[in-house]
Amino acid sequence: MDGSEILAYLGALVVGLVLGLIGGGGSILTVPILVYLLGLNPVIATAYSLFVVGVTSAIGAFQNLRKKLVDIKTAIIFSIPAFMAVYVTRRWLVPAIPDELFSINSFLVSKDIFIMIFFAIIMLLASISMIFSRHKAENELPKIITYNYPMIAIEGFGVGILTGIVGAGGGFLIIPALVLLAKLPMKKAVGTSLLIIAVKSLIGFLGDVQTLTIDWKFLLTFTSISILGILFGIYLSKLISGKKLKKGFGWFTLIMAIYIIFKELL
């Protein structure tokens, strides 16, 4: 095992740790780890990311379910359009993208470059969301709650397409939607988000199983390390301020996004 592999497995631990601490964001690390440390093709990397994120989030969701921090009804309404969108995207849309898209002067934009640049743009949006988020405290939420389920379903479909293309869970989009549209308290939004991420990521991965060759030994090892991370992260979340961690991770994500854009374009 060389230095890059060791760093990659340490990265898997961090992916789970971040998911456990702030309920999202950790999946944004998975694709860069697989592409830049292990040299995997971006299409394979996004597929593996769906599995890692899906299984790890499922463990986290189960832990939150035991604490009654998951809103099942909202999760179902969000998940159904989301998993339909992510499955269609992975099964048919991603394989349909041509290997060579277009060229600007002598610079050829390939499928791999497109996926990584699109991924970096999503990372930029995620970082801004984490750095500048202003969530209401539970006692600031309205007493009479009205659920905007049509908008929740529409957002679920949109997040599903993004998840299918970049292989990230989309927690940075899901959590604000659950707080603003479903009026969930922050802790419940985090727990519900993990369940939604788990369902749509794993169903999206089913679309890849039919079109890609999967290295199950590596994938299960990487995922197992990530699961250890989320269990440790959930434990630490009782001791550490998630708000401060989220902002710090947001700045880290911003730097990573800029690095990916420069690396792919230059």
Asked whether residue 18 carries a pLDDT value surpassing 70, the answer given is yes
Residue among 234, 254, 193, 264 nearest 42 (CA): 264
pLDDT band of 137, cuts 50, 70, 90: very low
Split at pLDDT 50, 70, 90, the class of 215 is very high
Alpha carbon 110 to its chain centroid, in Å, reads 23
What would the mean pLDDT of 148-170 be, rounded to a whole number?
80
Q: Is the pLDDT at 148 greater than 80, yes or no?
A: no
Q: Is the pLDDT of residue 217 over 50?
A: yes
**Residue 244, Cα to own-chain centre: how many angstroms?**
20
CA dihedral 221, 91, 109, 115 (to 10 degrees): -40
Tell me phi and psi for residue 187, to 5 degrees: -65, -40
Task: Name the residue among 179, 227, 151, 171 with its Cα closest to residue 71.
Answer: 179
For the stretch 173-185, what's the b/e string if a residue is b when 16 or more beta carbons lie within 10 angstroms of its beta carbon? bbbbbbbbbbbbb
Q: What average pLDDT is seen over the chain? A: 83
**Is residue 138 pLDDT above 60, yes or no?**
no
Structure confidence at residue 140 (pLDDT)? 47
- Cβ–Cβ under 8 Å, residues 20 and 190: no
pLDDT for the residue 24 = 64
From 228, 173, 214, 174, select the one nearest 50 (Cα to Cα): 214
The pLDDT > 90 percentage for the chain reads: 11
| Alpha-carbon gap, residue 195 to 172, rounded angstroms | 14
Which residue's entry shows tokens 């497995």?
9
pLDDT above 60 (res 127): yes
Give the model confidence (pLDDT) of 162-182 as tens digits.
Answer: 888 876 767 767 877 787 777
What is the DSSP-derived secondary structure letter of residue 104? E
Q: Which residues are 104's β-sheet partners?
A: 107
What is the pLDDT averaged over residues 95-105? 88
Count of structural domains within the chain: 1
pLDDT > 70 in the chain, percent? 89
Does the structure show a pLDDT above 90 at 223?
yes
- The single residue listed with the structure tokens 């990521």 is 201
Residue-range definition of the domain harbouring residue 191: 3-265
- What is the 3-class SS of 12-52, one letter each residue? HHHHHHHHHHHCCCCHHHHHHHHHHHCCCCHHHHHHHHHHH
Burial class (CB in 10 A: 0-12, 13-18, 19+), 113: middle
* Alpha carbons 196 and 56: distance in angstroms, whole number: 12
Q: Higher-confidence residue: 177 or 24?
A: 177
- Give the pLDDT of residue 216: 94
**Pairwise CA distance, residues 211 & 90, whole Å:** 9
Q: Residue written as tokens 């389920």?
A: 149
Q: What is the pLDDT of residue 241?
A: 67
